[in-house]
Amino acid sequence: MIDWKQPAFFLELLVILTSSLVSVVVFRRFRIPDILAYLFAGAVIGPYALGLVKDDANIRLFSDLGVTFLLFDLGLEFSLPRLLVLRRSVFGLGVLQLTLTIAVMSGVLIWFGGYSSAASLVIAGALTVSSTAIIVRELNELRLINRHHAQLSISVSILQDLAAVILLILIPALAVTPDQPVYRQIAWTLGSSLLLGGFLLGVARWVLPHVFYEITKIQSEEIFVLTTLVIVLLSGWLMSAFGLSMALGAFIIGVMLGESEFRHQVEMSIRPFRDILMGLFFASLGMKLDIGLLSGEWSMLLIGTALAVLGKWAITVASALIVGESFPTACKAGLLLAQVSEFGFALIALATEVGILATDTSSRVLLIAWATMVLSPVLIRYNFEISEALAGMAGQRFSARDRESEHVPPDLSDHVILAGYGRVGQMIGRFLRTNQIPFIAMDIDSEQVKKGRKDGELVIYGSCERIELLERCHIARARLAILTFKSLKEAQRAVSKIRSSGYALPVIVRTQHHSDYTGLIMAGANHVVPEMFEASLLIAAEVLTMLGFSKGEVEEQIDAERKRHRHLRWTSRLG
């Protein structure tokens, strides 16, 4: 007989997980971040909508654990050497942008919004922090991660993550009662954090490596996972026992483990728990969203979203100009940093829990943050076009000041454009140089560009998918274009843009698979070199030679296969 009287917590957990699953699947179809899917699921099933789940103590426990693992993951990704390498961006532009944004937003909230100093600081801090995860993911998909403005934005967002950690520590101190001086509570919080943080750093530095060495001798993945969970939870419990944030202890342990040889194994073993708990955390945040505000205050929420995005963009642009960046670079970096981070949601949740923010206020801020994250993929994908329009409105141009084209000689002509300066591109460039044929290469990998310039070659940052960059490389005066793409879609887009813009120069495309051939020929490529196809022919030739076939017989069969390949090219064109 079925017992329908299941424990309430079990049913609530089942509802949260099921609604989260459905939301994530649907949102991914539209390339919307998972965080927004969890928030949406929580809002739908929460007390302000369907009322299927109550935000009880059990759910709050899961959300606290989610924040703990979120900070542990940040600690694993944190790298002090990387910060030192990017110190100009981090400690120059990052500090200036962070300080100005928090100061301006706090002032506006105090003078025009009537909020308290503590509430204004929390809201401003939450809206200031940008999402490193969203920025990196979108830039990786667009293959723009190594561009100068992208590296600037990532550097600033890393510093903002660290600032969010500090705010998570200080928020409980800002919620003291009137009979407790704030400065005394803040001093106690910071002193305790430094003392316990130093203790945890020492343990992580000198004790944990020996623990993991002993665990790895057992060669059991289950025990390794269990050990990692215990260490993370123990560090969080130690901090919470002294009235501090659990997340701080997890962050410190994560920083130390991130510098050890166990980092990757720890990251992989903890990922399932981290993802599920973080999902529950964001779902619980979604339950605090009062969807009813959208019907009664939607215009104010739209204005708030616009002010948050434009305000962050304007302050980032001003900060970048102050530290000496060009206006186009400043525009692009500002758009990348326009959204709110997942740490912003964590700050709002903690401030609401300790009483700094009222529930209706936190709902409004969360809705604004949610809207900025929805806009973020669009702002990043159309970053250049939006920045160019804004620069035009400001009377600026994407000219020689733009880092992508500042190295192109104005009199370059009768040359070869070489898109992609990796292994294949460098080999082609060597042959061109030997035969005294001028060429200009472009790549989106900063290391390849740096290496090429060091060797005295004409190499610039950029992607040949942008026709305006090809025009700055004087494509109208070029003899030939060689595209060494691995991605079929990128190659097709590049060839199509060249042809649709009216350029008739010969285009050679290197691709990986023979199946890519037809699509590239149809797009307008003159010649396609399928890397795997040519490698297969070479291997087949070696096999036949070793089996005793004469050189003439082998060459005849290879030539026949190539003719069949060329026939496919012509039939594709005719079709």
Per-domain boundaries in the chain: 8-393, 416-574
Chain segment 52-101, per-residue pLDDT in tens: 887 566 667 777 777 788 778 777 777 666 666 666 666 778 889 999 99
Q: What is the DSSP letter of 402?
A: S
For residue 336, what are its two tokens?
Answer: 């990348």
pLDDT per residue as tens digits for the range 515-546:
566 677 777 888 877 776 666 777 888 887 88
- Of 564 and 123, the one with more pLDDT: 123
> Residue 179: which pLDDT band, with cuts at 50, 70 and 90?
low
What value, to the nearest 5°, has the Cα angle with vertex 41 and ends 45 and 63? 90
For the domain 8-393, what is the CATH code? 1.20.1530.20
**What pLDDT is attached to residue 311?**
92
Angstrom distances, CA of residue 532 to CA of 181, 421, 504, 529, 562: 71, 19, 28, 9, 13
In this prediction, residues 351-371 reach a mean pLDDT of 86
Q: Measuring CA to CA, which residue among 462, 468, 514, 520 is closest to residue 490?
A: 520
Supply the pLDDT for residue 313: 93
pLDDT at 230 over 80: yes
- Say if CB 373 and CB 340 are below 8 A apart: yes
Q: What is 416-574's CATH superfamily?
A: NAD(P)-binding Rossmann-like Domain (3.40.50.720)
Average pLDDT value for residue range 2-30: 78
pLDDT over 70 percentage in the chain: 83
Place of tokens 């813009």: 501
Mean pLDDT of 197-221: 81
* C-alpha span between 36 and 286 (Å, rounded): 9
Q: Is it the case that residue 40 has pLDDT exceeding 90?
A: no
C-alpha pair distances (Å), 515 with each of 247, 271, 488: 50, 36, 10
User: Distance between CA atoms of 71 and 281, rounded to whole angstroms?
Assistant: 13
Among 225-229, 277-281, 331-335, the range with the most confident prediction by mean pLDDT is: 331-335
138 has a pLDDT exceeding 70: yes
Query: To the nearest 5 percent, what fractions of the chain are helix, strand and coil?
Result: 70, 5, 25
What pLDDT does 406 receive? 47
Report which DSSP code applies to 201. Answer: H
Nearest 10 degrees: Cα torsion 433, 439, 440, 441: -60
**pLDDT score, position 280:** 81
Cβ neighbors of 298 (< 8 A, separation 6 or more) are none
Q: Burial code of 59-88, b = ≥16 C-beta within 10 A, e = fewer?
A: beebbbbbbbbbbbbbbbbbeeeebeebee
State what percent of residues in the chain have pLDDT above 90.
Answer: 9
416-574 shares the fold of 8-393: no
> Which strands, in side-by-side order, build the sheet including 507-511?
459-461, 439-443, 416-419, 480-483, 507-511, 527-530
Top pLDDT among 22 and 80 is at 22
Q: Which residues contact 163 (CB under 8 A, 6 or more apart)?
A: 98, 125, 128, 129
Q: How confident is the model at residue 300 (pLDDT cuts 50, 70, 90)?
A: confident
Calculate ∠ Cα 134-137-142, nearest 5°.
120
Give the model's pLDDT for residue 399.
Answer: 46
* Better-scored residue on pLDDT, 371 or 142: 371
What pLDDT, on the 0 to 100 scale, is given for residue 103? Answer: 92
Mean pLDDT score, 13-30: 88
pLDDT for 146 equals 65
Structure tokens at 443: 């790549």
**pLDDT over 70 at 275, yes or no:** yes
pLDDT of residue 100: 93
In this prediction, residue 232 has a pLDDT band, given cuts at 50, 70 and 90, of confident
The helix (run of H) or strand (run of E) holding residue 507 is strand 507-511
Angle at 180 between CA 127 and CA 245, to 5 degrees: 45
Identify whether the C-beta of residue 165 lies closer than 8 Å to the C-beta of residue 251. Answer: yes
pLDDT (0 to 100) of residue 574: 45
Give the burial string for 361-379 (b: 16+ CB within 10 Å, else e): bbbbbbbbbbbbbebbbeb
Closest CA to 461 of 505, 396, 501, 408: 408
Q: What is the pLDDT of residues 471-512, one digit of tens each?
A: 878 888 899 998 886 666 777 888 888 888 888 888 988 876
Residue 451: count of CB within 10 angstroms of its CB: 15
* pLDDT of 43 over the 90 cut: no
Task: Count the residues in the chain.
Answer: 575
Helices 57-77 & 8-29, crossing angle to 10 degrees?
50
Q: How far apart are CA 246 and CA 140, in angstroms?
A: 32
Average pLDDT, the chain: 79
Is the pLDDT at 141 greater than 50? The verdict is: yes
Look-up: residue for tokens 């758009």? 335
290-to-31, 260, 345, 357, 366 alpha-carbon distances in Å: 25, 44, 15, 14, 9
Amino acid at 240: S
